[in-house]
Structure 1
C-alpha cells in the first residue's frame, strides 16, 4: 500500500496571499530601478514631496540621537510630549479639541489606517469606500476582516461622491464610511457644506467615519480644508482621524503618523500596536515633535511650488486629444481620464486598459504613471506633480508626443 498523498501545502496564508502589492510603490520601485540602470526615466508614481525635510526638524533628530533616554523603549502609544503637541496642532489646524489620551502615534499613516480598521471592524462588517480610492484602504479593510464597498465618482462631479450615493450603498452590515479630503488620488476637496452633510448622514445612521486628513495643508485657489469632526461634533464618538507628518513636512521616510479617536478605541489600537511594533522610533518621534510644534512656513513654500506645477500639468495634459484632466483643488495629484484613448493604435499597439496604456508609456517614452485600476477606477491615470518643474515638463512632453500618434 502506498502512503496517502498529503494535501497541497499552503505556503502563504489565504489572508496574506490575497493582499495586492501597493501599486504606487511598485511603479515607483520600477522607475527607480530603471533609473539606476541608466535609463532616463521620469517618475510620476510616488506621492512624495521632492523637497528635503526642513533643517530644524533634522537637527531635532540629530540631538535626539545623542540623548540616551531616546535609546530605550518608550510608551507604545507615543511620546507623551508628542501626543500633547499633536493635540495642540489638531486644535490649531482643524478647530477640533482633543485630549492626548485620544491619540496613538503610529509608524506612518498606513499603520494608523490598518489599526483603526482592526480596532472597530468585526468579520463581515462593510466599509463604504469612495472611489477612486488610495490603494491601501481596501487592503487594510480586508486584513481587518471587513468588506470594502466601492461608491464610484468620476470627473463629471469632480470625483466627489454625494450623500445619495452613500445612502444607496448602505446596508444593515455597513459600519464605517471612509472620507478623504483632500483626496489621493484625485486631488478632490469637499466643501464645508458637503463635508457637514456627509458627517450628519453618518451620524444619523449610527455609522463610524474614518477620515484621512494627511493632505490638510495642501489646498489651492478658493478651496479650503474642513475637518469633519470639527463641523459635526455629534460624530466625534464614532470618528477616527488619521494624519501624519509625511506630506506637510516632506517626511515620508520618517514614518510618523497618528490616529485621533475615542479613548476606548485608542486604548484598543494601542494594545494592538504594543504587540505589533511597540513604540515608533524615538528619533523620528522627536523630529515629528519639532515639525508639529513649529510654524507652517515650509509647507507654505511647498504649496506655492505645487500650485504652479498643478496648473502646468493640467494645462499640458488637457492639450492631448483624448485626455480629460479636471483641475485638482488639493494634494499633489492629477487624475486624468484616458478612456477615449483606449483601443486606439499607438506605435503598433492597441492598449485596451489603462494598465496597458501605462505600460506602453513606460516602455516607449520612459515615463512612469499609475493606472486607474490601482485606485478602483479603470480608464484613468494618476500622476503626482510632486517632482521638479523641469522633470514635470519633460515627462508630460514625452507623453504628449507619444499620445499624439494615437489613431483609430
Structure 2
C-alpha cells in the first residue's frame, strides 16, 4: 500500500516505544517502577480538587458546544490576568491562543514559521523537535549540549548556525533534564536573536524563538529565566507555549495556550482552526473558573511542588552517596520539572539491565536525540510513591554493584 512520502518516512516516537513496552509488561503482571513517562499517577498526584469540581460542573451545565477557535474569550482574559500574577508577563487576550494542550500549539508554531527546507535550530537532549522538523520538512541544525552546562545550549554553540535559521526551539525548564537557563545564559541567546533580526532587515523572514514554558510552575529554590524578562527587545520574536498538563498534574485535561506577537498568533489561529485541535469547551469553562481562585491555585502548587521536590532530592542524594562509595553514577541537582538527570557510567545501554534486573524503567537520553550522551538517563517521579524510593534505590545499588563486579 502506497501512502504519502510523509506517512512512509515519518519516524515513530522512540519515547513511546519504550514506554508502551514497559506498560505491556505491567499489564502482564510484572512489578515495574515505571519512571519513563512525563505523566502522573492520579492516585499520587491528582489534579486540583477545585479544578475537578469545575470540570464536573461545566458538564452538568451542558457546556458542550463547539468552543471559539482561538479559545473562549473568558478563558483568554483569565489567562491574561494569570500570566501577570504568576509569570509577570503582560499579554492581551488577543495575543493568547488556546488549544487542546501544548502539542498542537508547538506544531502550529512550526507550520506558521517554517517552510520546507528552512533551517531550524534545537538542542539535544530535547523533546520531540526532531519529529516536528520531519513534519514540516525543515532542515534541522542540532546543538549537542554538554553536561557541564546542565545540558542547556549556550549562545556560543548557537551562534555559528543562526544566520540561516528561521526558528530556534528552546525548552526551559527542560524536558528531559530538569534544568533551566540562568538569566545570563538566556540573555546572551536572546541578544543573538535580536541582533540577527536587525541584520536581516524588513524583507526577509525573521528568526523566532519557540519557548516551551510548560514546566515554569515547577521550579525549586530559584525561578527559571524567560526570554522577554531578560531581554525585552526579543518580545516581537518570541512565542511561549504553556498548558495545565504539568503544573497542575492534568496531562489528560487537554488545555494549552501560547502567547506572543499578535500577527503571529493570528496566523496560528487560522491554521489551528482548520486542524480542529480546540480544547474541549467544558474544560475551558472550568479552567477559567479555577484560575480565578488564585489562592487555591497557590495552595495547590505549594503542596504539589513539595511532594515532587522531596522525591527528586531523596533520589538525587542517594545517587550522590552511591558516587562517594565508588559506584559509577552521577546526577545533576534537580532544578525543576519532574525529572532527574542520572548518569550510569557503564558501557552500553543500561536500560534493559536496569529493567530486567531491578524492575526500574527509565529513558536514555539517546531517545531525546542526544547520541553523544549515551550514559545519561531521564528518571521521572510523576508515578513515584514515597514509600517505594528506599527499595528501588537498594535495587539500583544491587544492579550497579553486580555490573561493576562483572566489568572488573
Q: Say yes or no: TM over 0.5.
A: yes
Out of 311, 314, 319, the residue aligned to residue 312 of structure 1 is 314
User: Counterparts of 1:234 and 1:250 in 2: how far apart (Å)?
Assistant: 33
- Computed over aligned residues only, the root mean square deviation of the Cα atoms, in angstroms, reads 1.8
Looking at structure 2, the residues matched to 154 and 18 of structure 1 have their Cα atoms a distance apart, in angstroms, of 30
Could you report, residue by residue, the CA deviation over 1:274-301 in whole angstroms, capped at 9, with x for unpaired residues? 1112532112222322343333211211
Distance 2:285 2:226 in 1: 26
CA–CA separation in structure 2 for the residues paired with 1:256 and 1:120: 23
CA distance in 2, matches of 1:214, 1:178: 13
Pick closer, same or farther for the CA change 1:270–1:314 going to 2, 3 Å: same
Matched, 1:217 2:209: no
Question: What residue is the counterpart of 1:17 in the other structure?
Answer: 8
| Change in 2 beyond 3 A, CA 1:26/1:298 | farther
Alignment deviations for residues 374-402 of structure 1 (CA, whole Å, 9 cap, x no partner): 11223121111222212333333322211
Stretch deviating more after TM superposition (117-126 or 22-31): 22-31
Instruction: Please tell me whether the aligned partners of residues 124 and 173 of structure 1 are also in contact (alpha carbons under 8 angstroms).
Output: no
1:393–1:291 Cα change, 3 Å: farther
Instruction: Using the TM superposition, give the Cα deviation of residue 271 of structure 1 relative to its aligned residue in structure 2, in angstroms.
Output: 1.5
1:382 aligns with 2:378: yes
Contact 1:44 1:384 in 2 (8 A): yes
1:109-258 map, 5 Å: 109-134=102-127, 136-170=128-162, 172-206=163-197, 207-221=207-221, 223-258=222-257
Match in the other structure for 2:203: none
| Structure 1 residue 64 displacement after superposition | 0.7
8 Å contact kept, 2:99–2:277: no
Is residue 114–residue 141 contact of structure 1 (8 Å, CA) maintained in 2?
Answer: no
Q: Say which of 381, 389, 393 aligns to 1:392.
A: 389
Alpha-carbon contact 2:83-2:89 (below 8 Å) kept: yes
Partner of 1:273: 272
1:405 match: secondary structure: helix
**1:42 equivalent in structure 2:** 33
Q: How far apart, CA to CA, are the structure 1 residues paired with 2:311 and 2:120?
A: 34
TM score, norm. by length of structure 1: 0.89
> Residue 52 of structure 2 corresponds to which residue in structure 1?
58
Structure 2 CA distance for aligned equivalents of residues 252 and 279 of structure 1: 15
- 1:322 is matched with 328
Q: Which residue of 2 aligns with 1:348?
A: none
Q: 1:40-59: CA deviations, max 9, x gaps?
A: 11101111234101111011
Identify which of 333, 352, 373 aligns with 1:359.
Answer: 352
